[in-house]
Structures are given as C-alpha cells and as structure tokens.
Amino acid sequence: MIPFINLMENFWILKDKDRELYYELKNLERDTRDFIREKLGFNLVTNQKLVKLEKVPENPAAWMGIKSFIDPMDYVLLCLLLSFLEDKTNDEQFLLSHITEHIQINYPSGELDWTVYHNRKSLIRVLNFALNMSFIKIDDGDLDMFSEDYNAEVLYENTGISRYFIRSFSRQITNFSTYDEILNSEWLFGDEDKGIIRRMRVYRSLFLDVAVYGNNISMFEYIKRQRHILQSDIEKYLEGNLHIYKNAAFVAVDDYRYRNAFPEDKNLSDICLLICGTIAEKVQKGELDLKADDTLLIDGSCFDGILQICIEKYRELWSKEYRLKSFNLLRQDVLEYMSLNKLIESREDGLLIFPLALKFKGEYPQDVIVEDKEDE
C-alpha cells in the first residue's frame, strides 16, 4: 500500500504496535512530505513513539466523530481524561477512583454523580476508547465491573501517548466558541478564495470529503482549471481518479482499502445504491425534475414511495437484518446513511438529493433475481 494511504487511513501509527510501518512512514520520501505540507497544509508529526498526519477537514462531518461515542457527554469526559493524563509521567500508575475524582471536581456543570448508571456508562466508553488508542493500559482489574458498582477499582498505567492526541493550534482555543472559528483560524492571514489557501481547501475537500459541489464557485472553478494536476496527485497518492461533472467533483477508488468510502461492502450501502438507481430512473422518465444546480427536492412521501419500490423488488435478496426490519426503521437507517455520505439532506421543505446520488446506480444481476423468484 502507498505510504500516504496509511497516513490517511490511520489516526496514527504507533511504534510499539507496528514497528515496520512506523519506520517506513518516519522515513517518508521528501516529495510526499512536500505534498502534505504544500498541497494539503497538514502537519506531519514524527517522534520516538508515533507517526501522525494531523488531518483537518474543510467540512467537518458526522462520520468524522468517534464512532463508539453516543452522547456529547462522552466528549466532555474525554477532554477531562486528557487533562488528567497530562499531569502523569510515562509508566505512572493510577486508580480508576483517581480519574473519577478528577472528573467530579472539574466537570463544567457541577459535580458528576457516579451513582447514576448513565454517567458510569459514558466514562466506560471513554476509557475503552483510551485503551484502544493506547493512552492507557490496564495493570489490574475489570472495567466492566464499574457499570454495576461505582466503587469498583481498576489499576491503570499511563503510556504518554495521549499528549499527542490533540493537534497543535496557532492560537489559544479557549478564545473560540464554535468549530468554525477553530477551522478558520488557519486562514487568518490570507484570502480563503485565492492562492495557496484555496489550493489547500480544494485538496482537503477532495481528499477527505465525499464530493465538492458546484455551489462553491471558487473551489469548483479551481478544480476544473487544475484538473490535470489534481488527477496526477490523486493517482499518485490515493491510487484513484478524479471525476468532474457539471455540478459535482469527487475522487473514486477501485477497491475497499478505504474504511470511510461510498459504496461499501455492506448491505445498507447496497440498499442505498438501489434507491439512487430508482431516483435516477424517475429523473430520466421525467417523473422528477432536477433544479438548475442538478439537485432534486422531493417530499417525504415521494421518498417513501421510492423506498417501497425497492422493498417490493429486492427485499428477498437482502440480509436477514434488513429483510425483517420495519419500514420506519429501515427508512431511518437509509436516510442517516445517505446523509453521512452527502447523498441527501433533510430540510424543512423536504429532502434535497445531491448530484452525487444520481451518479450511482445499484442493481442485482438478472440471473440472481430470476433464481430468487424460482425459489419462492
């Protein structure tokens, strides 16, 4: 695999976990380092413990969050855990009760009650994440016991890795109140729509986001004008291809090496492809009308009808999970998945279908459909 792809696909590469890959990336070729700095504007961190590419998105999205976290409180507790570990030396041991005491004292909305099950489960999610990221190690005890008994103890050991988790900022982040202010702080000394800054914004969007749409006129014009240079870089560093249409541009790859890409090798992804294909057919037949920017606005009942068509035609070919799912739950899953992949957006006046959705079409081979009907 191309070294750059490993940097993109991993939050970091730890020396203790993968020494071979660590040394390969630590000795990265100069042209790749130059590309990271000049085209993406990312910081490449290398030290005796890890290699980390600090990826900053142009457009933060829900899929970029921590997948095991389910509540905003989880992120608050994570920040408090990081502040706790900041004062610990490498290999220093501490107890679970030391963590709970620190959080209880420093929790922003008053003392946290650990007798409440919801609070304990939130901390367990955070500590499991910290273990998976190698911030800490368990020397003795069972964390799962904490869910049943708030007096349960676990002996931990600090690895020192956590101090590299949060990226460096050019300004004091306590002065910011929104993530937009944090992102825009990078462009304080230049015009976002010109020169080097625009180039970095375009590369970040293409390399990290699902698509760039034509409503961003400045970026889209740059993509069309610099398409050959962009294509060359995308081939070299992602082994992909740049696709440019009237109102959309995106990067396509030929395999499933990327964890966050659409479509995926999942049944829900297949269902969404079938829905995209059905929508495209209705557009071609004149049953649905595109707007000038190639988006499509439909109401909820129209979408329900499209989903029902797919259910009636293909449900028997789906996995058991989706065959047995109620219409409302399936609808919820589909809308959430399509929203995450920038195919659709829920609005007050209906559902906005983005141009990218009409570039995909899913269908089962005819012999599979025929075989399924014969088995009925």
The pLDDT tens digits for 192-235 are 556 888 999 999 999 998 888 888 888 999 999 999 999 999 99
- At residue 36, the pLDDT reads 96
Average pLDDT over residues 80-99: 95
Look at 27-36, 58-67, 79-88, 297-306 and tell me which has the smallest mean pLDDT. Answer: 58-67
On average, the pLDDT of the chain sits at 89
Is pLDDT at 376 greater than 60 in this prediction? no
Q: Among residues of the chain, what percentage have pLDDT more than 90?
A: 67
Residue type, 342: K
d(CA 100, CA 29): 45
d(CA 257, CA 170): 33
In the structure, what pLDDT confidence band is assigned to residue 371 with cuts at 50, 70 and 90? low
pLDDT digits (tens, 9 = 90+) for 5-21: 999 999 999 999 999 99
d(CA 204, CA 275): 29
State phi, psi for 81 to the nearest 5 degrees: -65, -40
pLDDT digits (tens, 9 = 90+) for 136-165: 999 999 999 999 999 999 999 999 999 999
Is pLDDT at 1 greater than 90 in this prediction? no
d(CA 136, CA 327): 43
Look at 121-130, 301-310, 336-345 and tell me which has the smallest mean pLDDT. Answer: 336-345
Beta-sheet strand order (sheet of 350-353)? 296-298, 350-353, 344-347
Check if the beta carbon of residue 364 is closer than 8 Å to that of residue 221. Answer: no
Tokens coding 109: 């909305």
Residue 168 carries which DSSP code? Answer: P
Residue 68 carries which DSSP code? Answer: T
Q: Which residue has the higher pLDDT, 178 or 366?
A: 178
Tokens coding 114: 């650990």
Average pLDDT over residues 285-308: 93
- At residue 191, the pLDDT reads 55
Check if the beta carbon of residue 145 is closer than 8 Å to that of residue 155. Answer: no
d(CA 343, CA 360): 10
Read off the pTM. 0.85
pLDDT digits (tens, 9 = 90+) for 317-334: 999 999 999 999 999 999
Residue type, 155: L
